[in-house]
Chain A
Amino acid sequence: MDDLREEFIAETRETLEILAGQLVQWEKDPSDKSLIDSAFRFVHTVKGSCGFLDLPRLLRLSHAAEELLSHARDEQIVVSSDMVTAVLAVIDRISELTEALESGEPVFDNDATLIDAMLAFLPDKGTPAIPAAAIRQLHQDEPGEAIDEAASASKTRTVRVSLTLLDKLMNGISDLVLARNEVSRQLRRVGSDNEIDQAFGRLSSTVAEMRDAIGMMRMQHIDRLFSTLPRLLRDICIELGKQIELTVEGSEVEVDREMVEALRDPLTHILRNAADHGIEDPEQRRSVGKDPVGHIRVVARQSGNQILIEISDDGRGIDVEKLGQRAIARKLLTNSQWQNMPERAKLETIFAPGLSTAEAVTSISGRGVGMDVVRTNMHAIGGSIDLENNEGQGLKITLRLPLTLSIIAGLSLRAGGQIYGISRSAVVEIVSVTNRSVEIEEIGGMPVAKVRGERLAYAKLETILGVAEMEDSQSARSLVIIKPAVGATFALDVEAVVDNEELVVKPGAPLIMATGLYAGTSLPDNGKPMLLLDASGLAAEIGVEQELFEMANRNQVTDAEQNKQDADSGLLFQTLDGTVQAIRLAVVDRIEDVDGSAFHQVGGRLCVSVEQVLYDAKGLKTLPDAGATVKMLRLSDGSTSVFLAVADVIDIFALDREIAPSLLPEVYEGIVHVDGKPVEVLNSYSFFEALPGENPTGISQRPLCFVDASCDDGWAQNILAPLLSASGYEVSFDPTDQSRAAVVLANGANTQKTVGDGRVVALRDSLQVKDEERGSIYRYDRLGLLSAIESKIAGAR
């Protein structure tokens, strides 16, 4: 009985998968009889089996659906999309119940509602629930032969084989390959004649063919995944009130069956995103001259040893600027980081956790979970994801996957005289330790590898594994740069990189996996077991705090944590006169090479013009030559920027040590020891304190100063007004503005008229104070005047 039940579950599941796509087509073309027939056959089969297996709920559901569909088949009722929805609801419930049969989980029982909703479409509405006896009789009477025949004709004949048996076959064939290799070695040793060689050649090619064929047995058509997409999209469309046409190509591409499962979630996410915030509303689409029906294309193809899946839509694409605003608003990035990011990196912030460009959260997407999950899933199976954004025209997402999960492209490494494997997809590059672009140094007790100027966390594989190093291995060691799916890029120092090979991954025993360092085991062609290293596990072992180095090197890091770590780091640089100084990394926005022609002498100060904005240039004594390039540190306090000229940037170091006080506290914050030498740390505050605040044009709400200008036109308009504007006030000479002004500036005789008005600041022409001018301010006392205006405004609030 149990066997029969399992058979039923498996069969129902299979049919459901095929059916899902057909049902949606049926909705589009309700008159298509063959599709109604498919649906009818399904419920009929379910009904037949579950009557026999004594599954009353399934029986009731399938019977009701069959009833309705048989009417539809006989054209007694017209199929509407509402009716299809009702039938789909019942078919979904059948699917849930079937799954529940296996898992043993309960499914909420409101079957009667579903059935009633469906039966409402019958011509004689509201057929009462069918008595159990009637059902039993009905199903026995049903003439089913003709139908079953039709169903079986279209199927390819298959057998179900257990996975263990498949694995056994796989193992067997691997054995065979090893044995063949051994024979080949022996033959070479003893020297063979032609006939033996021929026979052996035939054996070899047969074995190779068999290995391929058995590899194929693990493969499945990607259609298994794609066939569920039309249904998924249909439900989304109904919910969103959009019209979307889905094109699926390449269903015949074959992938490893485990891959099908691993792809299911990412693909669903992407499709939802495309339908929900890629494709616009029909009206919107019409208004921009697009076909009101949206199009989504899903294409799979095989390219070499990779599978490519492309999902393209003709929606609005990703609004990159909006994405940036969201990212900044959510404090994932600072404004300047965003401005300095290359286009591609900007686009890729879509993968940052918690980010979405959707206007509102819908039940389908927009919660900002999704793209980050997609990328994580893709990495987990050794794949990658690419975006091609045409703003306003659509988005194309390409998923790249390895052909199988169980065979990986591997790299074999030697450490402590033993060979280990690692997945090549995690390896960025391999460099020799003796390469001149590689330096290994120690910073704060932690070893760091500097590869072409980029700092990476570094560890010897022998140290991680706790094995002894081979004595003669010191000369020709290699650095393998590894970028794990989880964690920062790091440099792994190994005795030697041995080979590139295809490795069959075998799971390791729990006791081995418990170390967290290994991804499994493998058996290469030499027949000696090999441990596969887990890149993420190694990264965790090396430690996360070393991520700091990587972060300090990149300016597109999205983590808010960076600021915290920056705050504790210093940048070591050489000034133009050759001394080594340091500055806190947190104030350094970026490093720029500025052409000498951009420097100007303005107002007795050296300034540099960058992107048409003039900034103070520090650290320079004279104007540089027009042709020269000057390395400048762009310092920022968040709103204002200053440029500091340096000869060169030397290093980044942790400012976690004691800072000794400096004799010149206004210039230097203090003195620290870096690599045993004292270095003065520049006082970041001093760079900004002498500067005016943010450019006043940036202020939207500027307080209004009314100048009672009848007094002295020339002075007020030419001298006073510019001062006020530059200090961030709006200036008006129009008497109608007097009432709404925040401050009124009056002079001489005019002060008498406005006595008692708290907004008035009185000015006088001479330095000496006359009696009637008590409380007035000398008109060339700039500081006094500005502070008086400031206090009036502050007092008015």
Chain B
Amino acid sequence: MEKLFLIAEIAATPVAICCDHIESVVRVNEVVNVPRADPVIAGLFSMRSRVLTLIDCQYRISGTQKPFERGCPAVIASINGHSFGLIVDRVRDVVSVSDDAVLAATRLDPKWSGLCSRLAEIEDHLVMILDPEKLVSTDQRAAA
């Protein structure tokens, strides 16, 4: 079985996101702040009459919030019935990966191990597969 993955960069590192989760990639122009929420939340934005939560993905890695940049690319993903926009540095490509090329990840940097548990072999490179659920789970806050 082949599966489609979107290759994007988060904190200058390429990651693969399974396309099953992904709706589209958009540019976000305007956000509304959510005071007192988990710092991973960059705000709320609207897209065609829906309200989506914008996630500052690199915060989970770097531990510092990045100020919102107008027009930043975001991957729209539906996770557990809620729609999120995941801010990425940039989007590279969509590739097809066969199940054989997906491996369990061992010995990842602890920063990443909370977000990824598998690797994909793409053109002789190993790319971490991002688990979007972990990115937005409420447990993650305690871990981070």
Contact = CB atoms under 8 A, between A and B. Distances in A.
B51 interface: yes
Nearest to B46: A529
B48 interface: yes
Contacts, number: 75
Interface string B26-50: 0000101111111011001110111
Nearest to A172: B49
B51 A511 contact: no
B49 A529 contact: no
Contacts of B141: 511, 514
- Chain B contact patch, size range: 20 to 34
Nearest to B40: A511
Contacts of B48: 171, 175
Nearest to A524: B46
Given A512-B41, A531-B44, A467 B33 contact: yes
Contacts of B40: 511
B45 A529 contact: yes
A515 B44 CA distance: 15
Given A515-B36, A528-B32, A510 B41 contact: no
Contact of A510 (B35, B51, B82): B82
A289 interface: no
A521 B36 contact: no
Contacts of A531: 32, 34, 44
Interface string B46-68: 10111101000000000000000
A43 interface: no
A671 to B, nearest CB: 43
A511 B53 contact: yes
Contacts of A464: 36
A207 to B, nearest CB: 13
A512 B32 contact: no
A416 B34 CA distance: 12
A511 B82 CA distance: 11
Contact of B50 (A171, A508, A510, A518): A171
B46 A465 contact: no
A530 B32 contact: yes
If over half of A's interface residues share one DSSP class (helix, strand or loop), that class is named, otherwise mixed; here it is mixed
Contacts of B36: 464-466, 515, 517
Contacts of B44: 521, 529, 531
A461 to B, nearest CB: 10
A522 interface: yes
A521 to B, nearest CB: 4
B74 to A, nearest CB: 14
Contact of A514 (B30, B84, B138): B138
Nearest to B79: A509
A531 B41 CA distance: 13
B10 interface: no
B136 interface: yes
Contacts of B80: 510
A510 B80 CA distance: 10
A510 B33 CA distance: 16
A438 interface: no
Contacts of A514: 37-38, 138, 141
A506 interface: yes
Contacts of A506: 50-51
B82 A528 contact: no
B65 to A, nearest CB: 14
Interface string A482-517: 000000000000000000000000111111101101
Nearest to A173: B49
A171 B82 contact: no
A178 interface: yes
A509 B138 CA distance: 10
Interface of B: 30, 32-38, 40-41, 44-46, 48-51, 53, 80, 82, 84, 136-138, 141
Given A509-B41, A531-B44, 20 more contacts: A171-B48, A171-B49, A418-B33, A465-B36, A467-B33, A506-B50, A509-B53, A509-B82, A511-B37, A511-B38, A511-B136, A511-B141, A512-B41, A512-B53, A517-B35, A517-B36, A518-B34, A521-B51, A523-B46, A523-B49
13 contacts: A174-B49, A509-B84, A509-B136, A510-B80, A510-B136, A510-B138, A511-B38, A511-B141, A515-B34, A523-B49, A528-B32, A529-B32, A531-B44
Interface of A: 171-172, 174-175, 178, 416, 418, 464-467, 506-512, 514-515, 517-518, 521-523, 527-531
Kindly list the 3 A-B residue pairs having the minimum CB-CB distance in the complex, ordered from nearest: A465-B35, A529-B44, A175-B49
